[in-house]
Amino acid sequence: MSTTAAGLSTATVRRIERAAGGAATRAVALMDAKLPWFRTLPAAQRSAVTLVAQAGISGYVDWLAAGEAARGPGGAAVPSVGSMFGQAPRELVRWVSLRRTVELVRVAISVAEELFPALAADPDEASAVTLSLLRYSREVAFSAAAIYAAAAESRGAWDQRLEALVVDALVRGENDDSLASRAAALDWDLTRPVVVLVGNPPDGDARSIVADALGVPTRDGRWLLLGQHRGRLIVVVTAGDADELEVAATAAVAAFGAGPVVRGPTGVGLPGAIRSARDALSGMRAVVAWPQAPRGVPAARLLPERALAGDADALEELRSTVHAPLQAAGDTLLRTLDAYLDRGGALEPTARDLYVHVNTVRYRLRRVAELTGLDPWVSRDAATLRAALTAGRLATGG
């Protein structure tokens, strides 16, 4: 009796070959019965999975016929095992996870183990068929793992390119449909709060360093996007709520390289990210004028430097958030603030100039702080107030 390279008789292999089609059909039916998620797949995806199941079982016949002699250097799987996944479209690795693929293979092999050993021409060959099925299923598992690993590497490279495009679009302020679709492809939840930080890149792999600082996966686009702009590292951080975002943004600051780090304002979605990126980059250009600026300084604290550097948005923010509220409150607060700043922050001379009690000056300055969020008793805030008064009067003519 002639035998194959696998040690099975030709008659046994032919019987298995004739039964392969029915086994594939039965395997698909069993998948439908045992795997709830398989039943919910769209028709095109079910068809692709069915092709793989059929190719896998028919490939087993080729594998039997070839046996160990067809294995490549180093024990590589025979071509029929690796090529079985070529029957389906590339999208299969996105439609069906590796875990589910293993479930499919398990069902198909269980059908083969039930049917094929009974087809042995000689009862002594039944155990050899079972053993060959175990070896074949191992090869299929290795082949599937290699395909999914390659797909993951390819997707990782694509995601990184896509991420760079998204960050570049945020920097350029290009809020269009293509940006929204790219962000969605990265699993970015646009309903979450977002903040952008800018600074010098660290030594080493920036992504891993920042991700470790935040305690998130390096490819988790829902939480973290990275890019570079003119040698600066751009970090886009999102979180579930404002408190979570504050913790994440503070942690991200430590991951930047030496030098200043500027944080944009918190926003929501793409418009918020664009505004945050714009202000953070503006602050990064201007922060050199404030050598004592803390790392992670908010861009809003750099309004005077940004305005002097030519940032029209910063100039308008000084007018709208500082000068306009004071002007709306009446002339008294503006005159008091002017006198206080002119006197170098001395209360008694200010009170004498205004012919009021010193406590009245204190009360008015507290009102200034309440309206603007800037404390006149803090030298840094006092400088911002002076810049705002100047910007506002230049705009209004007085």
Q: How many CA atoms lie within 13 A of 339 on its CB side?
A: 21
Say if residue 86's pLDDT is above 80. no
Q: Is 12 exposed, middle or buried (0-12, 13-18, 19+ CB in 10 A)?
A: buried
Q: Say how far apart CA 265 and CA 279 lie, in whole Å.
A: 7
By mean pLDDT, which of 60-69, 200-209, 227-236 is the weakest? 60-69
For residue range 242-297, what is the model confidence (pLDDT) as tens digits? 888 898 889 899 889 999 999 999 999 889 999 999 999 999 999 999 999 999 99
Q: Say how far apart CA 182 and CA 162 lie, in whole Å.
A: 7
Helices (H), 40-125: 43-66, 79-83, 92-95, 98-115
The residues spanned by each domain of the chain are: 10-154, 189-300, 312-396
Q: Supply the pLDDT for residue 81.
A: 47
Name 319's Cβ contacts closer than 8 Å, sequence gap at least 6.
388, 391, 392, 395
Question: Which pLDDT band holds residue 107 (cuts at 50, 70, 90)?
Answer: confident
* Assigned CATH class of 312-396: mainly alpha
pTM of the shown model: 0.61
Helices (H), the chain: 10-34, 36-39, 43-66, 79-83, 92-95, 98-115, 126-172, 177-185, 206-214, 242-253, 269-286, 303-308, 312-318, 324-328, 331-342, 347-354, 358-372, 379-396
Specify whether the CB–CB gap between 199 and 259 falls below 8 A: yes
Check residues 2 and 15 and name the one with the higher pLDDT: 15
- Bridge partners (DSSP) of residue 262 are 198, 297
Q: What DSSP string describes 356-396?
A: S-HHHHHHHHHHHHHHHS--TTSHHHHHHHHHHHHHHHHHH
Q: Which helix (H) or strand (E) holds 193?
A: strand 193-199
Q: Supply the pLDDT for residue 72.
A: 46
Question: Which pLDDT band holds residue 195 (cuts at 50, 70, 90)?
Answer: very high
Check residues 227 and 72 and name the one with the higher pLDDT: 227
What average pLDDT does range 119-138 have in this prediction?
80
Domain 189-300 sits in CATH at 3.30.70.2730
Q: Say how far apart CA 167 and CA 276 lie, in whole Å.
A: 12
Question: Which pLDDT band holds residue 98 (cuts at 50, 70, 90)?
Answer: low
C-alpha pair distances (Å), 294 with each of 200, 212, 287, 291 = 14, 22, 10, 9
Q: Say how far apart CA 182 and CA 270 lie, in whole Å.
A: 11
C-alpha pair distances (Å), 251 with each of 96, 211, 232, 274 = 36, 10, 18, 21
Question: Which pLDDT band holds residue 159 (cuts at 50, 70, 90)?
Answer: low
What average pLDDT does range 109-135 have in this prediction?
81
